Amino acid sequence: MGEIRVDPGTLRAAGGTAQAAGADLRGLAGEVAAALSAVDGAAPPESGGAAVMFSNAVQTGTLAVSDGVVALGSNADTAANVYEQTDRQAMPDGPVPGGPQ
């Protein structure tokens, strides 16, 4: 069986990028709500109500995606920590007998 090689720093960097993207998505949800709230007051009641419903749906979807992306980033960071802990606690310090030298 092959060995597992992980670069925790790269994994952490990817996790940070995902968390930043999730935060950006959360901000986008607020911008959509602000932009479409202006339609509510400027449009006939039927259109305004539809705009509010659409805004709520977009905001809900964007927040759900944001939460998932942030969780993915957090999981990547946790995985990097676990790989490092495993490397420190369970892996031999020197060359593995019979392994590459």
Count Cα atoms within 13 angstroms, Cβ side, for 65: 13
Placement of tokens 């759900």 in the chain: 64
Does 56 reside within a domain? Answer: yes
Calpha distance 97→84 (Å, rounded): 22
Question: DSSP letter string over 29-75?
Answer: HHHHHHHHHHHHHHS-HHHHHHHHHHHHHHHHHHHHHHHHHHHHHHH
Look at residue 53 and tell me if it is in a domain: yes
In the chain, the number of structural domains is 1
- Please indicate, yes or no, if residue 7 is contained in any of the structural domains: no
**The pLDDT of residue 47 is above 90:** no
Higher pLDDT, 66 or 98: 66
Inside any domain, residue 62: yes
Query: If we measure between CA atoms, which residue out of 6, 53, 8, 1 comes closest to residue 32?
Result: 53
At residue 96, does pLDDT exceed 60? Answer: no
Q: What is the overall mean pLDDT for the chain?
A: 85
| Domain with 77 in it | 44-85
99 occurs within a structural domain: no
Q: pLDDT at position 36, please?
A: 77
pLDDT range class, residue 99, cuts 50, 70, 90: low
81 falls in which pLDDT band (50, 70, 90)?
very high
Whether 93 has a pLDDT exceeding 80, the answer reads no
Has residue 50 been placed in a domain? Answer: yes
> Is residue 65 one of the residues assigned to a domain?
yes
76-97 average pLDDT score:
81
Asked if the structure places residue 70 within a domain, the reply is yes
